[in-house]
Amino acid sequence: MNRLRQLWGEHGQAVWLDFIQRDLLNSGGLTRLIEEDGVRGVTSNPSIFEKAIAGSGDYDAAIDALLAASPAPSLIQLYEALAKDDIRSAADLLRPVYDGSGGSDGFVSLEVSPQLAADTKATVEEARRLWKEVARPNLMIKVPATKAGAPAIQTLIADGINVNATLVFSLAHYEGVAEAYIRGLEKATDPSKIASVASFFVSRLDTVIDSQLEAIGTPLALELRGKAAIANAAMAYGRFKEIFYGDRFAALRTKGAQVQRPLWASTSTKNPAYRDVIYVEELIGTDTVNTLPTATLEAFRDHGNPRASLAAAVEDAPGTIEQLAELDIDLDAVTSKLQTDGVAAFSASWDALMAALDARRSAGNQA
């Protein structure tokens, strides 16, 4: 069997594609990934759209048509017209997965502007508007798991809007969005109709922690390289099991509410010394999603080892976290900075995208 399809068929883990581009949609590429590889969702973010729109000619004709129809659109209007078309197309291609899963899978994620990450009210307003304008039941609105994002997530879930809580780096971040999801469901008219994932970022943690371990340089420190990210994610998965299969969620479960699945994000391998599918192979478990960039998806299809690995990772995780603490590795400080840096990186991609669209708009108006 196809290794990617085994993740869902044998281990209950959904594979989502961490990429979107118009050519992928129009060429039949996404359809093939859905039908042949069992891809069950798509995620996007400002960095992905910046590379797709500014880094290819796929959108030139659409931009020309938008400028012809309205010679002076705002940059936001120009971007959203392009992005919403892509998101609708992807959602329509995934609609059979959504319908076949009873509304528990087959989602496409669209992120609110990262520049709103510190503004709860503005985040809610933009999310509500995007939800209404895209008008697809298998849309997920991505909201960062910042202090301002958590109450926005709660409000949106209560509204009946599917949410992808993104930029989750720590156990505290995870617990915050899980609680926001549950509180939102408790206020929702029909909790059975709402879905959410918590996007837990993985590989970036090893990039930072490994450099600290190498600076320490002791045998234990060097032995721990490449282990922090898996342990951190496994701790979150263990907490997921406690929350969503314990008393806290029991009443909502009787009403048909879905668990908020952990979604493993940032799963491409940054260190060439590590196996290129390490953050897929070591995080396989039921009720999870792994969102893979194209290269990682193709690598796992070629040589990945689909096995139930998360249970063992959960058992080993506390010991690894304890050893890191013994070496004075401040995991909370690192993950807090990673979230801040993540928001900043997406904001930078957003600014680059707006600059590229501004240049394209100017060129179009001069033509």
Catalytic residues: 142
Question: How many C-beta neighbours within 10 Å does residue 298 have?
Answer: 14
Find residue 264's DSSP bridge partners.
Answer: 200, 290
The residue type found at 8 is W
108 contacts 87 by C-beta, under 8 angstroms: yes
18's CB contacts (< 8 A; 6+ apart) are 43, 48, 265, 267, 291, 292, 293
Buried b (16+ CB within 10 A) or exposed e, 337-359: ebbeebbebbbebbeebbebbee
Kindly state the tokens that stand for 18.
Answer: 């961490």
| Residue with the two structure tokens 């919403």 | 84
Tokens (6 digits) for 343: 């928001």
CA trace torsion 250, 106, 126, 263 (10° rounding)? 60
> CA angle, 238 as apex, 237 and 241 as ends, to 5°?
90
Q: Which residues are paired to 200 by β-bridges?
A: 168, 264
CA distance 252 to 331: 33
SS3 290: strand
Tokens of 237: 């998965």
CA angle 344, 109, 107 (to 5 degrees): 155
Angle at 233 between CA 228 and CA 237, to 5 degrees: 145
What angle in degrees, to the nearest 10, is found between the helix axes of 29-37 and 294-303? 30
